[in-house]
Amino acid sequence: MTAIIRLTPRLTTIRRLDFSSRSGPNSRCAWSGRGHGTVETTTIGNIVRFHEQGRFVPEGKARAVAFTNVYRWEVESDRLRLFHERRGADQAVWLFDLVVSEPGTSTTLVSRDAHVCGDDRYAAHLTLHPDGFDLNWRIEGPRKDEAIYYRYRHD
């Protein structure tokens, strides 16, 4: 069973997220820190939306910053498409398509092509776990050198 088939029913059961971000030596963003929050899912056909909200604490800071996101997961037979709906569903930003990393792999998906935003490139790696999945992002560009580690879990 491929990772896409195994992941599809899990998407609708995700209820929480934890993440850490780490800025590398070439980053001018200084976006290191930790966050946690809740996920509410909605499903229409092959589309699952993650309505995320929570708190992010930048490294070295005492105060948390509130965040909200809406990510749209579109399940296709050979890929999982990820969009960010920061400007609404009708102006969603395509991030990347996740595909099986190697034939026969049942726990891992990788971005087929990097998402290009200006001079920055976004890529990701998804790993299935019994209680959810991890989504590890890598963002590289002239001013960005970021790694973001999301942990999506059932409860």
The domain spanning residue 63 has which CATH number? 2.40.128
User: Phi then psi for 96, rounded to 5 degrees?
Assistant: -175, 165
Per-residue confidence (pLDDT) for residue 1, from 0 to 100: 45
Q: What is the DSSP letter of 25?
A: T
Q: What is the pLDDT of residues 105-143, one digit of tens each?
A: 667 888 877 756 677 787 899 999 999 999 998 878 888
Half-sphere exposure of residue 16: CA atoms within 13 angstroms, side-chain side: 8
When divided into structural domains, the chain yields a total of: 1
Q: What is the residue range of 99's domain?
A: 3-153
Overall pTM > 0.85: yes
- Tens-digit pLDDT profile for residues 13-44: 999 999 999 887 777 777 799 999 999 999 99
78, pLDDT greater than 70: yes
The SS3 of residue 6 is helix
Closest listed residue to residue 6, CA positions, set 127, 102, 142:
127
